[in-house]
Amino acid sequence: MLASPTLEEDLRQADELRGRIDLVELRADHLRDSEAAAASSFPARVGIPCILTVRRRSDGGSFAGAERDRVALLRKLAGAGFAYVDLEEDLQAPELDAAVRKAGARVVRSLHDFAGVPSGLSRRIAALARGPGEIARAAVTPRTCAQLAVLLDACRDAGALPRVILGMGEVGFPTRVLASKLGSAWCYASPTAEAAAPGQVTPPALDEVYRFRAIGPQTRVFGVIGNPVMHSRSPLIHNRGFAALGIDAVYLPFHVPDLQEFWKVADSLGIRGLSVTVPHKTAVLEFGVEGDADVRAIGACNTLTRASASGRWIGANTDMEGFLAPLRHALGGKIPPGLRATVIGAGGAARSVVAALASVEARVLVLNRTLDRARRLAERFHADFAGLDPAGARAAEHTDLVVQTTSAGMAPQQGVDPAPGLQFTGREIVYELVYAPARTPIVQRASAAGCRIIPGWQMLLAQARRQFLLFTGAEYPSEVMEALSGQLD
């Protein structure tokens, strides 16, 4: 999707993406008036098939003129060599339809909903194509997994209808990556990952992170569920592994605000395995997950695989060993008994960390804003606990290791320090489980004090190695893991 104010900028962006794109959409509604008048030259200059779109403001576009002027512009440009012309569901302009067909272009008939998923979506999509060769296009905005499930049902109901059906925003993101699996004729992307529609992704990301061109009807689906989750680097890790081993699979993020409804999405897509991140690591256990020994001991789950025979979800926890491996390396290969450790947080990630530290006979103090949650976690693993207040900060003095397990510092909590009262002497090792951004507020303070830092990406890679084995039955390729370590460092 090209949405610059000038044709030259649109052409420059298309040239930069040459080889990654097969089709461009010119958003002529974003062009300056003088540029829009000259847009008839664009198809010949760009050299690949083009979609012409002049979108009204009411449909998320930028065209502010009269409707008759918009229709006149569309009619003028329709015969300029555009392969497709995008027209809205409610636009009644038979002379424009005829002009598009006479020019040899195909009509893309669109419906939009920037607020949610409209009722009767399957019926409305079926009614979009009014003539031979027309393509039905629906761009809606699921806010919940329940709405995403409705959107996926609409993809299935469309059958062989030529269409493009996509979900805007974070919840709808999987429909972009899975466009070919869901029967869409193409996927919309943009040079900036936003441009004119929320949730868009760049062509390089589609290629390099999600292996978009390798996805087909039989591609197996894996992913990570969380809230937030779009920052996750797990898709890069797992998809690189799939590519190296020639496995027909894709791994993508699922933004899950309503966990109970997500299982409908999982069934619809036939998801085979999932990573689980905040805040769902304990909550998933309420949905019939069959946990392994580690899950039962820790009370948290970060990995789900689906049993092929029964269809039940099997839970595992790779966080525990994933956490310990980088810590052992930082301590020269062995974690000394009696290590004094302070763990900030009492959620699912903290459960794995405290369990791991207890297994190596560390002395653990749990700090949490809600004291009762800190108490329950500490009692489970015979640790101490305190609040995130001045008294708790004093209790954490003379600590060898500080582990930050909360989502503080990560979007949408950028700039948040989970324990501003905790002072560093420079002798502590600070282990930050957040890895995006790399320098969270607590890491910045600890670094300034001279502390050694263990970044969260080290644990991410260590736990992902076992997850990959659980997902595929294959060892993660060591050369790819080494390359990722260098890239994330």
Could you tell me the pTM of the whole model? 0.93
CATH topology of domain 320-454: Rossmann fold (3.40.50)
CATH topology of domain 226-317+465-488: Rossmann fold (3.40.50)
Confidence band, pLDDT 50/70/90 cuts, at residue 482:
very high
Tell me whether the CATH fold assigned to 226-317+465-488 matches the one assigned to 320-454: yes
pLDDT at 446: 97
- Strands 220-226 and 273-276, sheet pairing: parallel
Nearest-angstrom CA–CA distance, 26 and 10: 8
Q: Is the pLDDT of residue 195 over 80?
A: no
Which tens digits make up the pLDDT trace of 119-174? 999 999 999 998 889 999 999 999 999 999 999 999 999 999 999 999 999 999 99
Nearest-angstrom CA–CA distance, 406 and 349: 8
Active site residue 264: no
Tokens of 257: 């605000």
Sheet holding 429-432, edge to edge: 384-387, 363-368, 340-344, 401-404, 429-432, 452-454
Parse the chain into domains and list their residue ranges: 7-210, 226-317+465-488, 320-454
Which tens digits make up the pLDDT trace of 28-37? 999 999 999 8
Return phi, psi of residue 288, to 5°: 75, 20
Q: Is the peptide bond before 5 cis (omega within 30 degrees of 0)?
A: no
Catalytically annotated residue among 76, 102, 281, 334: 281
CATH topology of domain 7-210: TIM Barrel (3.20.20)
